[in-house]
Amino acid sequence: MVQTPIRTVNRQQRAFNQFLAIFSFLAVPLLLYTVWVIYPTFRTLYLSLTDWDGLPGPINFVGLENFQRLITEEPFQKSIVNNILWIIVFITVPTSLGLGLAMVLNTEVKFDRFLKVAYYLPLVLATVVAALVWARGVYSPREGLLNSFLALFMGDAAYKIQWLGDPNLAIWSVIGAAVWRQVGYVMILYLAGLKTVDAEVLEAAKMDGAEGWTLFRYMVFPMLAPVTTIVVVISVIDSLRSFDMVNIMTRGGPFDSSNVLANYMYLSFEDYRMGYAASIAVVLFAISLVFIFFYLREVMRQEEGQ
């Protein structure tokens, strides 16, 4: 009979002890992650295939029926379109404004610290507070700042504009309030990115005659590519989970004209259509996974390049 060498036994014992030490540190976080993330995810996937109404009783399995209803119902279609509009605006407007502010505030300007705080302040406010400020203080037909300003040029006709009550204006009004909050966040991200730009490379480019728009387009902006990737992904994710502003300002109305997927899911919960709401959550999750996949692929590509 062949005996195992003592060194091999000791090596296996050390490896086992290391495994126990690592597992003891990870056991509690893994347990919590399983209870609060993994289990609810699979539970939601299962409920999306049922007609559960949230009440005690049997849960009937209906397969893909909820997803078939989603495709055919107009509120879901409007929500998808509004989410796409939200994504397009969030990728372009806050990104452009935030980058422009970062470029200006990265230079030596007066009151730069005050301006940074002022532009970032909207993000510090709770979403509920920001929504109420815009709904009552800006978009109110009679007392709102926007109509009061327009009345200087349009007269009393300006007070008839229903920014949140007009189906053609509601979604754009809510997006405008959300953009106001997002610009400061994007500005901070780009300010942090500009601090990592190699000053010697920029000086060499200036000596070669690059300046102004040429310097920004061919030198600064390409070096901000990692930050831009983060900004785009965050903007997309924030667009997909846009719920607070919509629910507080319009609740998705009028006539579902400002509805988004997250708010439509919440309204389905209120109607005790838990299985239907779970199917909307699955759609949101799937869309988010697509953008997360492209983000992770880009990050890995950048790491390999470095």
pLDDT digits (tens, 9 = 90+) for 122-133: 888 888 999 999
pTM comes to 0.85
Please state which of the four CATH numbers 3.40.109.10, 3.40.50.300, 1.10.3720.10, 3.90.440.10 is assigned to the domain occupying 65-305: 1.10.3720.10
CA distance 208 to 82: 46
Which of 7-16, 31-40, 115-124 shows the lowest mean pLDDT across its residues?
7-16
134: amino acid identity, one letter: W
CB atoms within 10 A of CB 138: 20
What pLDDT digit, counting tens, does each position of 234-250 carry?
888 888 888 999 999 99
279: pLDDT strictly greater than 90: yes
Distances (CA, A) of 51 to 41, 57, 118, 275: 17, 11, 49, 5
Domains in the chain: boundaries: 1-43, 65-305
Return the SS3 of 153.
helix
The pair of three-digit structure tokens given for residue 39, joined into one six-digit string: 């289990």
138: pLDDT strictly greater than 80: yes
6: amino acid identity, one letter: I
Burial class (CB in 10 A: 0-12, 13-18, 19+), 202: middle
Residues 6+ apart with CB under 8 A from 279: 48, 66, 67, 70
Residues 6+ apart with CB under 8 A from 74: 256
